[in-house]
Amino acid sequence: MKIVLFDAKSYDRYHFDEVNKDFGYDIEYLTPELNSHTALLAKGADVVCPFVNCTVDRETIDKLKDEGVKLIALRSAGFNNTDYNYALSKGIPVVRVPAYSPHAVAEHSFALLLALVRKLTHAYVRTREFNFSLSGLVGIDLYGKTIGIVGTGKIGKAAIGIAKGFGMKVLAYDPYPTPIDDVVYTDLDTLLSSSDVVSLYCPLTKENRHLINSETIKRMKNGAYLINTSRGGLIDSEALLEALKDKKLGGAALDVYEEEAGIFYTDQSDTGIEDDILARLISMPNAIITSHQGYLTKEALEAISRTTLQNVKDFIDGVELKNQVK
C-alpha cells in the first residue's frame, strides 16, 4: 500500500514515520500542495494524503482516478477544500481526522486572546529594545466578561471549559446544539450583541461563509474582540479590516485567513506578500495573526498521523470507514 503525502513538512514526516512503525506502509513525502497541476505526482499511489490548503476539486479527482488512486485520506478535520461527493461518485472515498486534539486549538485561541487583550506582542517588542515603559499597554480582565462561542463541537466545548476557568460568562450558538452545563444557547444576533469576546469554532460550509461580515460586525459590541482559529472563510477579511481601522472592534486575533493558500506554511520573509488585505491586517496594532498553527502540538500531530493511517487500514480491511466524509 503506497501513500503519497502532499504538502509535507518536516514535522509531518517525523510523526508519520514514528506512527508508521505500527503500520508499515510505503509513504512518499512531497513538498507541493495537491491540486490539478500536481495530481500526476500521485502516479502509482493507492492513497493520497492532502492537507488543508490543497485543492481537491473535480479536475484533481479525475486525474487521481486516472493514476489509480483508491482513497483520499485528509489529514485534517476540515474538508471544504475537497469535492467529496464527486470523489465518491468516482469510487474514491474521502476520509478525514475529525478530532485530533481539540485542546490544542482551544488553548491556542486563548493564547491569542490573552496576547491581544494584554498587548503582549507590543510589550515583547518594547522590552527587546530595553523600553520598559507601560504607556499604551493597559489591558482588560477576562474575569466576568461574556464570551460568545460560535460552534460547540469538541473544540468549542474545550474552549468553554477554559473560559469557565477564567470566570467568564458563556453564550453559545450552534445550528445543532447539544446541552452543556451552565451554558446558555442563543441566536447568533443575541450572541454578537451581548459578547465582549466572540470566538469561532465551526467548520466552513456554503451556508456560513462570511458569517462575520460588515452587517454582523455592526451588531457586535463596540470594542469587542474577535478570535478565529477555525477557517478563514468564516470572516469577510475586508469588513474585518475596516472594523479594526474604525475601532468598531477592540481587536482581532486570527490563526486562519480566507486566502491563506500559498502564503501560510511558507517563508516569504524575503519576498513579502502580494495580498494587500492580509498585509494591512498584519500591520494593524490591534490585530494578531498566526500561520494556522493552532493544531501544532506534539500530541495533535501524533493523533493526526495515527488516525490517518488507521483510516487507511480500515479501507484496506474493508471495514466501515467511520471517518468517511459523506
**Catalytic residue set:** 231, 260, 292
The alpha carbon of 268 is separated from its chain's Cα centroid by a whole number of angstroms, namely 20
Buried b (16+ CB within 10 A) or exposed e, 243-281: bbeeebbbbbbbbbbbebbebbbeeeeeeeeebeebeeb
Q: Are 25 and 69 in contact (CB under 8 A)?
A: no
* Pairing relationship of beta strands 146-150 and 169-173 according to DSSP bridges: parallel
Question: Grid coordinates in use for 278?
Answer: 492580509
Residue 89 CB burial class (10 angstroms; 0-12, 13-18, ≥19): exposed
Residue whose entry in the numeric block shows the C-alpha cell 508519520: 16
Side chain identity at 118, as an amino acid letter?
A: R
Distance between CA atoms of 102 and 295, rounded to whole angstroms? 8
Distance between CA atoms of 50 and 35, rounded to whole angstroms? 9
Rg (CA), the chain: 21
Residue 47 CB burial class (10 angstroms; 0-12, 13-18, ≥19): buried
Residue 151 CB neighbour total at 10 angstroms:
23
Question: Grid coordinates in use for 192?
Answer: 454578537
Q: Are 288 and 44 in contact (CB under 8 A)?
A: no
DSSP type of residue 71: E
Side chain identity at 315, as an amino acid letter?
A: F
